[in-house]
Structure 1
Amino acid sequence: MADALRRYADRHPAQAPVAAGFVALLDDGDAAFLRGRLDGHFTASAWLVDRAGARVLLTHHRKLGIWVQLGGHADGDRDLRRVALREAEEESGLAGLRADPEIYDLDRHWIPGHKGVPGHWHYDVRYVVRAGASEAFVVSEESLALAWRDIGAIAADGAADASLRRMARRWLERGGR
């Protein structure tokens, strides 16, 4: 994981300080991958794009009440790419998904307290996940809704989550690949 984070920092020098914080979290070993570590822990997310590369599947998150990418807790799994893929499958009901091998984005964000769990930091490692033959999703219990959203529109939407806009701009700069 440390090597993957360093490669990410090399590709995205402006986010090198963020990547360094993620590398430092690895010093906590297995605890860093458990949601019980309330000083902060790893999560993984999916930038789930359609076959054409023009839309991304977002969730209206039940607990947070905002539109974000699919994802969740590592729950002890140190393979965050696998976590992102699993979360995308579970939260969308889509089959035949594929995750790109390299980290796409990193984001450290605060999660407010909820139902007795105090507020804490998520160190979210994000991967591009590509839709398979079917793009007909199923809304899971974790979401209020799911929707395919135009990536260009997200990039231009000043009201959208800042990290979503960053990922959308990056996607467009890469030519939608």
Structure 2
Amino acid sequence: MTEAPLRDDARSVLRRMDPAGPGQCALRDRFVAHLDAHPDGVLRACRPDHVTASTVVLSADASRVLLTLHAKAGRWFQLGGHAEPGDGTLAGAARREALEESGVEVALDPVPVHLNEHAVPFCGPDGDVHHLDVRFVAVAPDGARHAVSDESLDVRWWPVDDLPNPDLADPVALAVARVRGV
């Protein structure tokens, strides 16, 4: 699939999203404006910003979250990354990234749960890159066994109330609420 249909899917997904609060609403509007202005806005080559897709993977009982110790950043994050040419949808890119980084097949909710913009100094030679991260939620099957990919130093289950990275508190809380129907 070319970037135009993937970009159109990303715009559609974002426009249908019901953001949790004014900050998330502002990010959604920023992401949509970025995609409107940049035909390649879902691709890594788009500079200085590009849309990425990630997944907050919860255990079947929503008590734990599967995180990766990112090799380049040296911090724990949800699973995710860049869209690739074969990705048909943004949710599909998030699901593919989760599988590649953890080895776990997940059931993914196609409606984003959280948005985040963050600088990524190691993403390219100029160092002035921002990921416009669209975060989905997924549930791993009961007893799912994970693996560590080449992109990670470790992959591990963490209690949702004892996260190693405080920046994950909001997306994990929103994911848990979505899964539990709260």
TM > 0.5 fold call: yes
Q: Deviations over 1:117-175 (max 9, x none)?
A: 53301010111111124421110000000110111223xxxx7242x111123245457
SS at match of 1:52: coil
Partner of 1:51: 60
Aligned mates of 1:85, 1:136 — CA distance in 2: 16
Mind listing any 5+ residue stretches in structure 2 that lack a counterpart? 1-9
Larger deviation: 23-32 or 36-45?
A: 23-32
Taking structure 2 as the reference length, the TM-score comes to: 0.83
Q: Contact conserved, 2:148 with 2:155, CA < 8 A, in 1?
A: yes
Identity %: 35
Amino acid at match of 2:97: E
Mind listing any 5+ residue stretches in structure 1 that lack a counterpart? none
Amino acid at match of 2:127: P
CA 31–115 in structure 1, closer or farther in 2 if over 3 Å, else same:
closer
Give the aligned length: 170
After superposing on structure 2, the runs of 4+ consecutive aligned residues of structure 1 that deviate more than 4 Å are 172-175
1:170 aligned to 2:174?
A: yes
RMSD of aligned alpha carbons: 2.1
Taking structure 1 as the reference length, the TM-score comes to: 0.86
Partner of 1:27: 36
Deviation for aligned residue 1:38: 1.8
Partner of 1:106: 115
Aligned mates of 1:102, 1:174 — CA distance in 2: 10
CA 115–124 in structure 1, closer or farther in 2 if over 3 Å, else same:
closer
Aligned mates of 2:36, 2:120 — CA distance in 1: 22
